[in-house]
Amino acid sequence: MSDKINRVVLAYSGGLDTSVILKWLQQEYQCEVVTFTADLGQGEELEPARQKARSAGVKEEHIFIDDLREEFVRDYVFPMMRANALYEGLYLLGTSIARPLIAKRQIEIAQQVGADAVAHGATGKGNDQVRFELSYYALQPDIKVIAPWREWDLTSRTRLIEWAEQHQIAVPKDKRGEAPFSTDANMLHTSSEGKVLEDPWEEVPDYVYSRTVNPEDAPDQPEYITIDFEKGDGVALNGVGVSPATLLSSLNDLGCKHGIGRLDLVENRFVGMKSRGMYETPGGTIYALAHRGIEQLTLDRGAAHLKDELMPRYAELIYNGFWFSPEREMLQAAIDHSQEKVSGTVRLKLYKGSCIVVGRKSPHSLYSEKVVTFEDDAGAYDQRDAAGFIKLNALRLRLLGRRDR
Amino acid sequence: MSDKINRVVLAYSGGLDTSVILKWLQQEYQCEVVTFTADLGQGEELEPARQKARSAGVKEEHIFIDDLREEFVRDYVFPMMRANALYEGLYLLGTSIARPLIAKRQIEIAQQVGADAVAHGATGKGNDQVRFELSYYALQPDIKVIAPWREWDLTSRTRLIEWAEQHQIAVPKDKRGEAPFSTDANMLHTSSEGKVLEDPWEEVPDYVYSRTVNPEDAPDQPEYITIDFEKGDGVALNGVGVSPATLLSSLNDLGCKHGIGRLDLVENRFVGMKSRGMYETPGGTIYALAHRGIEQLTLDRGAAHLKDELMPRYAELIYNGFWFSPEREMLQAAIDHSQEKVSGTVRLKLYKGSCIVVGRKSPHSLYSEKVVTFEDDAGAYDQRDAAGFIKLNALRLRLLGRRDR
Amino acid sequence: MSDKINRVVLAYSGGLDTSVILKWLQQEYQCEVVTFTADLGQGEELEPARQKARSAGVKEEHIFIDDLREEFVRDYVFPMMRANALYEGLYLLGTSIARPLIAKRQIEIAQQVGADAVAHGATGKGNDQVRFELSYYALQPDIKVIAPWREWDLTSRTRLIEWAEQHQIAVPKDKRGEAPFSTDANMLHTSSEGKVLEDPWEEVPDYVYSRTVNPEDAPDQPEYITIDFEKGDGVALNGVGVSPATLLSSLNDLGCKHGIGRLDLVENRFVGMKSRGMYETPGGTIYALAHRGIEQLTLDRGAAHLKDELMPRYAELIYNGFWFSPEREMLQAAIDHSQEKVSGTVRLKLYKGSCIVVGRKSPHSLYSEKVVTFEDDAGAYDQRDAAGFIKLNALRLRLLGRRDR
Amino acid sequence: MSDKINRVVLAYSGGLDTSVILKWLQQEYQCEVVTFTADLGQGEELEPARQKARSAGVKEEHIFIDDLREEFVRDYVFPMMRANALYEGLYLLGTSIARPLIAKRQIEIAQQVGADAVAHGATGKGNDQVRFELSYYALQPDIKVIAPWREWDLTSRTRLIEWAEQHQIAVPKDKRGEAPFSTDANMLHTSSEGKVLEDPWEEVPDYVYSRTVNPEDAPDQPEYITIDFEKGDGVALNGVGVSPATLLSSLNDLGCKHGIGRLDLVENRFVGMKSRGMYETPGGTIYALAHRGIEQLTLDRGAAHLKDELMPRYAELIYNGFWFSPEREMLQAAIDHSQEKVSGTVRLKLYKGSCIVVGRKSPHSLYSEKVVTFEDDAGAYDQRDAAGFIKLNALRLRLLGRRDR
């Protein structure tokens, strides 16, 4: 708190934590707070945030509420999906991918209103502080960053609530009792951590899930859908052209209905500890499988295998907060180059928690029934070529075998 | 066919194709044929193969029928599972991993009976010819290899059946009509290719599946199981210690019952074409998820991420037939080094085609509730450390931002 | 030789081998031969090739002699140098990088003159056949390819010369006696293989080198030069702007004079054997070091390390002949993305076989004397940040140490 | 400085900085200081360190002076050399590889004398603090670490010297005037940073070098040597068996004499900034080239290329201080597995700053003159195999070409 701050842009949800932070910033830093609330499809009303900001004394022109849903899906989720990104083999990076967009918009607002600082409500143990701050610094290297959770002395939930009450900040009824889960939500996913989840041997109780029905309660009949892709991105659902955010939103509805996209994970945080989380990514899970499905038909083996080898690094970069880094951009350039002909239609079956690709077709298919057939191929492939192929692939192994065996 | 062959060891199933090959070798090469039939848990009676070999004039001491099930799971499937190997993101390599073992045993028999050649029944378009032959050459560099499908003029199924009938080889009734699927089966999986599957837009008909019930016909109640691991390998099911093959076999029963492990895939063959296949890997699918589950708790992040980055290459090597290669062995050495403490128990839920990890515990857990908790951690983690961590991770991005933004 | 060929475009140097091939094609295939001779800066007169082609009965309009020097350096050598490509840690890929360009031009000519085939003079043991033919097939998938060395029965040098004499093809005096080295030359390098070099314990005799003076005979005074780069490519020598080919040519003169760029290598060929070769890459060696020098100053660490990790794969692709492949193009896209600010000046010292970077400067430097200084940095870097950085990097190792040590 | 320290083990050279630190620790922490001075072949007398420690009041039994030269070369330098490790393509990691050994010994001493803390003299801007501390924490997770340069207020050289004089610490004459270079030395290398080197455009003045003669002053006659390897490690020089440290020491003498191993580098530090350094690695440079030379002959291509791809990561881990990490150990396991047959003799030529391999031989050579020869190979290799090899490698490119071109 050494430097004097004049104006700070706070990533503000209107919830208890960021309401406390808003007041705390005003008080501790004696500075003007600008609030920024993003609609990333988290499914909450945003107008209450405006009211609360007003009540806290934020100037009308300093209350920013932006609908970023299309930008989020088009410029963040879809590029990531082109890479088939999975962190630690399983996680679709729903929280990670939203942070750089929020940070970018915060910096834009800071530049617009002449703020000299930005602030966020992420704690000092998690990945989000890193994702926010690496993005801030990459985009505006000399910005001042305030991370109240690392600065103040409100070291427990109880103390936070006491502070809120002392400062006339409304504490939701259900927050008074038990501590809440630490959750995050946007159009791609909802996550929960903490409380009962802190024991990785305990099954996630069904009440923790909020975005998907329990597979056991899902319809007894499977449902078939199609997704159309153009150059690696989804463009239509069941043959009807839709925008990126509309597509993801519709897939969320389908995934919710069929109990698709639940994940129980113990993961490795960038800050060095393991944590256990519950993720629901209904539409994203369907979309990711569909994307792999269309790639199977339209992507060359060399491109596909290179993508698979680069993917873990790419996913790690996003998880660790390096979206705005040269190496993520380099990998993106390679990945995007591969997607030129990744177009066509994938058919999927949704049923009680599972989603599988059952068909794919494309005007750019590299699959050749003529070549692959077990029937007479009319000379499309000369089986004798395989003899030479094997002999030369074996040559080094034979030289080795002669020496070593 | 230039070289004179005296004695050849044939990988022999007793089915139509290898029966034709047996006769054809005797006739074309005027040589003694030694038959080798492996029990890899494919679920077929092997005694009929003995009878057929006898009838074809193979000497009693030249009929080899070996139970390789434990060796298969212990020395091939489990090491591969330690790597979390998935080819092209999805395929558990059920066929690929069996070929090197068959080839190894063929070479051992060839050395034992003084044969100068080995033969197999894989076609000239597929991966299996490569897998067999690279293994043969690696283990005995100067062995002669006979691949009848690349040599003879039986270029269609119809001609094969005609030839069989001309030579008094029994043709199963159902083979006379429609051409069969090209299938492979062992304890890890069953695969089917060809026929209706050659159109990747057509859903795989339910009658093609043989190892799993349709998820829609699976029990309406989920089933919970536990698997115990020691140093990266499964050792017990529901608390009862079992051998590798017994474990996989029991998991196959469970997977079958709950419709788990079906995969519809368009994949890239090593010989350069795309093919479409259907795979059923019931027990292997459960096992693979469980292994990831126990690694989540017991494997350090550095080790886990390195494994994820190496995995696609490792899987490609197995798929392409390079099991007996220095580079596969090097990767295995790295992977095995990581498994020393991968011990503990994983709990899974099986339900209508899906299998999810719901809990994991271990005496070697690296998960620290004390460190990760959202509650007061009594100084286990100093949140202020995160500030420095972020500042130094950001430094290069800030220098870059100052230059470029 | 099953298919009827009407017209074939031959990569023709005018030397003994391709002269024999020209005649052999006319005779064996009874087809029209179109000759293509490329000037890649190999330093030979090309007009004699025209005369010889004429004498062999090639139509005037079917004799193609093209100066490809600028295209070679600009579109092949420079992009490869952006990657800092070294095959097996040492080899600058001088032969490999020229083949795709020759093949591409051959295919263009084939399309122009309506030829149905292309031919080259590379042997069946080497890499060049692969590089030529993969490029042909990638660019025109249905082209017919004639590789005489794999087809004819001229299995030794002696038989080739006999055939030449029988067919009135002039055999150079020095070819009658001892077999020559197998050499390749272009503006980037000269290579020699065979003969005395076939024993990898024997030092390469000095007479084998043709492009560089022996370092022991080089000037006793070092020479300093500068190279300017723009976006990753060389644009000026000693402050004077020059074209790509002129730059490389001038660096060749300098490298020759100072004995720079000799390499004695045992390498692994794509066809599975080891070979021993001698390479001289005078200008390329200087250029490659200079490029690394300017990257040191202008490339971010994340980008630089990603490039280093991708490089071996990229180099292998070029060596193996996969220039025209999606995966090489993907890697190129990533590499090129990193070069936007790789601009500035590098100063080098050349002296008796060695070349070292002694200085580099750039308007886009990321080096900050203010940050790095051992003197007072006026707050540019807070050393206390390092404590948190280390603590969080150490956290997983500490958790591990508590478990394992 | 919150926690009470009773006894601390200081990595102590006896120079000005660590003498100041010794006194400062005694004064600030009121604790007992144990000094540890390692002989890593830095070429300094160590007895003066003993005297100085005594004078500073360190108990006789708390003065540790250990000769770690053989352990250093055998267990740190050689394993690293097996990997052909080069950081950022050029740097042989001379400083990085020594830090984990010093840290390990410090921890051993701390355990032996019952110390609760360790301390080092590395600054807060460099890599060494990270390397020391990550090693400390990995080996003893709960050790307290004191890094005076990050704690005290001696923020400039001038203040350090004032403090020394106030506290009766002898300040060497040459330190009073100009600030010294920041140097590090051990048997593998000597480094210098700071002062004039802080301008990366300025050539390193010759007086900065201390371990090698200027190539211009080196002998006018080249010198030839041989190094014998067993399983990837050097065992003999010019045919005479020697210990690891003796071998490296002798190579240092040779490299010094011929001006070999100078490097002028701008590198990326782990803490996020670029720095410019001068390195001299005379013997290590020769050794590294020789190791590559023997691998060329004895290592299979698959193993060699995998090593090349893993190397940048391996080098980065060592540079960043992660020697004692699971991922470094995993990579080491893979690398070591490859070295079983890396035995034989390499011949090198040393001349005026350059070192080149001119011959290599091995009883385990994979080079086959019979296969590679341009002369008649008596059927060792069938050139027609290459046709099939190329056709199948081309198949995917042709399918792609038909679609895209």
In tens, the pLDDT along B111-168 reads 999 999 999 999 999 999 999 999 999 999 999 999 999 999 887 778 888 999 999 9
Among chain D residues, the shortest Cα distance to C313 is held by: D309
Q: Do B403 and C366 touch (CB under 8 A)?
A: yes
Strands D32-39 and C262-268, sheet pairing: unpaired
Which residues have a Cβ under 8 Å from the Cβ of A221 and sit 6 or more positions away?
A: A351
A16: pLDDT strictly greater than 50: yes
Q: Write out chain D residues lying below 8 Å of C309, CB-based.
A: 309, 312-313
What's the CA gap between D93 and D267, in Å, rounded?
11
Q: Which chains touch A (3 or more CB pairs under 8 A)?
A: B, C, D
Tokens at C124, concatenated: 């069946």
Are A393 and C272 a contacting pair, CB within 8 Å?
yes
Q: Which residues of chain C have pLDDT under 50?
A: 1-2
Length of chain D: 405
Residue D177's pLDDT is: 61
Q: Whole-angstrom Cα distance, residue B85 to residue D374? A: 42
Contact status of A363 with chain D (Cβ, < 8 Å):
no
Strands A344-351 and A354-361: antiparallel
DSSP H helices, C96-141, are 99-113, 128-139
Cα→Cα distances C159→B150, C11, C164, C165, Å? 33, 22, 9, 10
Annotated binding site of C for L-aspartate: 123, 127-128
A-B contacts at Cβ under 8 angstroms: 302
- Taking CA–CA distances from B302, the nearest residue in chain C reads C396
Q: Is the pLDDT of residue B92 over 90?
A: yes
Whether D338 contacts chain B with CB within 8 A: yes
Q: Give chain D positions within 8 Å (CB) of B322.
A: 302
Q: Is the pTM of this model over 0.95?
A: yes
> Looking at the complex, does the CB of residue B268 fall below 8 Å from at least one CB of chain C?
no
Q: What is the DSSP letter of B180?
A: P
What are B317-332's pLDDT values in tens digits? 999 999 999 999 999 9
Q: Find the CB nearest C200 among D124, D309, D367.
A: D367
- The count of residues in chain A is 405
Residue D405 has a pLDDT of: 80
| C99 among known catalytic residues | yes
What would the two tokens of residue C344 be? 């500035």
Catalytic residues of D, by residue number, are: 17, 99, 128, 182
* Contact residues, chain D, for B334 at CB < 8 Å: 330-331, 333-334
> Which pLDDT does position C286 carry in this prediction?
98
The pLDDT of residue C181 is: 76
Quick one: average pLDDT of A167-181?
A: 75
Residue range C170-225, pLDDT digits in tens:
887 766 666 677 889 999 999 999 888 999 999 999 999 999 999 999 999 999 99
Tell me, yes or no, if C364 comes closer than 8 A to chain B by beta carbon. yes
pLDDT tens digits, residue range A362-392?
A: 999 999 888 877 666 767 788 889 999 999 9
Interchain CB contact of C366 with B (< 8 Å) = yes
- Averaged over A291-317, what is the pLDDT? 98
Alpha carbon of C63: minimum distance to chain A alpha carbons (Å): 33
Size of interface B-D (CB pairs under 8 A): 80
Q: Which of B129, B337, B340, B399 to mutate to test the interface with D (most CBs of D within 10 A)?
A: B337
pLDDT of residue D37: 97
**Residue of higher predicted confidence among C1 and D27:** D27
pLDDT above 70 for A243: yes
Q: Do A201 and B353 touch (CB under 8 A)?
A: no
Q: Sign (positive/negative) of CA torsion C234, C238, C241, C242?
A: negative
Residue type, B256: C
As a whole number of angstroms, the distance between CA B279 and CA B87 comes to: 13
Q: Is C405 on the interface with B (CB under 8 A)?
A: no
Cα atoms in the 13 Å half-sphere on the side-chain side of A343: 8
Both structure tokens of C250:
């001038």
Rounded to whole angstroms, how far apart are CA atoms D313 and B334? 14
* pLDDT tens column, B181-207: 788 999 999 999 988 899 999 999 999
Q: How far apart are CA D398 and CA D405, in angstroms?
A: 10
pLDDT of residue D313: 98
Q: How many CB pairs under 8 A join A and C?
A: 80
Distance, C-alpha D401 to centroid of its chain? 48
Partners of chain D (3+ Cβ pairs below 8 A): A, B, C
Buried b (16+ CB within 10 A) or exposed e, C160-198: bbebbeeeebeeeeebeeeebbbbbbbbbbbbbbbbebb
Q: What is the pLDDT of residue B374?
A: 65
Residue B364: its chain C contacts at CB < 8 A? 403
CB contact under 8 A, C388 and B393: no
Tell me which chain D residue has its CA closest to the CA of residue A391.
D385
Q: Which residues lie closer than 8 Å to A367 by C-beta, 6 or more apart? A: A297, B200, B266, B274, B275, B276
Distance CA(B362)–CA(B340), nearest Å, equals 13
Strand order of the sheet with strand C344-351? Answer: C240-241, C233-237, C223-230, C344-351, C354-361
Active site residue C336: no
* Contact across the interface for A401 and B137, Cβ inside 8 Å: yes
Helix axis angle for D282-298 and D244-257, nearest 10°, is 110
pLDDT tens readout for residues D133-146: 999 999 999 999 99
Subunit contact C331:A330, Cβ cutoff 8 A:
no
pLDDT above 80 (res B175): no
Tell me if D134 and C202 make a contact (CB, 8 A cut-off).
Answer: no
User: Read out DSSP for A281-308?
Assistant: -HHHHHHHHHHHHHHHHHS-HHHHHHHH
Active site residue ranges of B: 17, 99, 128, 182
Chain B residue with Cα closest to C364: B403
Which pLDDT band, with edges at 50, 70 and 90, does B174 fall under? low
* Among the ranges given (C198-207, D40-49, D287-296), the one the predictor scored with the smallest mean pLDDT: D40-49
Return d(Cα C165, Cα C374) in angstroms, integer.
75
Nearest CB among D272, D334, D338 relative to B392 is that of D272
Beta bridge partners of A64: A36
Return mean pLDDT, chain A. 94
Residues of C in contact with A302 (CB under 8 A): 322, 325-327
pLDDT number for residue B1: 42
Confidence band, pLDDT 50/70/90 cuts, at residue D176: low
Average pLDDT over residues A299-326: 98
User: C-alpha angle C377/C379/C382, rounded to 5°?
Assistant: 105
pLDDT tens digits for range A184-220? 999 999 999 988 899 999 999 999 999 999 999 999 9
Q: Which helix (H) or strand (E) holds B139?
A: helix B128-139
Task: Find the residue in A nearest to C335 (Cα).
Answer: A330
pLDDT (0 to 100) of residue D257: 98
Rounded to an integer, what distance in angstroms lies between the CA atom of residue D115 and that of residue D6? 7
On the question of pLDDT at A179 being above 70, the answer is: no
**For A203, nearest residue in chain B (alpha carbons):** B358
Neighbouring C-alpha atoms within 13 Å toward the C-beta of B163: 19
Tell me the C-alpha distance between B104 and B101, whole Å.
5
Query: Which residue do the tokens 């001042």 mark?
Result: A144
pLDDT at position D1 over 60: no
Evaluate whether D358 touches D349 at the Cβ level (below 8 Å). Answer: yes
Residue A273's pLDDT band, with cuts at 50, 70 and 90, is very high
Chain C closest-CA separation from residue B59 CA (Å): 39
Nearest Cα neighbor of A392 from C302, B135, D387 is: D387
Over residues B294-318, the pLDDT tens digits come to 999 999 999 999 999 999 999 999 9
Closest by Cβ to A301, choosing from D391, D396, D403: D396
Strands D233-237 and B117-119 turn out to be: unpaired
Chain C nearest-CA distance from A390, in A, is 11
In this prediction, residue C1 carries a pLDDT of: 42
* pLDDT in the model for residue B22: 97
CA C321 to chain centre: 11
Looking at residue A43, its pLDDT comes to 87
Task: Provide mean pLDDT across the span D201-223.
Answer: 96
Structure tokens at C384: 């206390």
Taking an 8 Å cut-off on Cβ atoms, the answer to whether D356 and C134 are in contact is: no
In chain A, residues with a C-beta closer than 8 Å to the C-beta of C267 are: none
Residue D182 β-bridge partners: D193
C275: which 2 tokens?
């070979």
Say how many residues make up chain B. 405
What is the rounded CA–CA span in Å between residue A296 and residue A314? 20
User: Pick from A380, A235, A372: which is nearest to A294 by CA?
Assistant: A235
Which among A78, A76, A82, A146 has a CA at the least distance from the CA of A117? A146
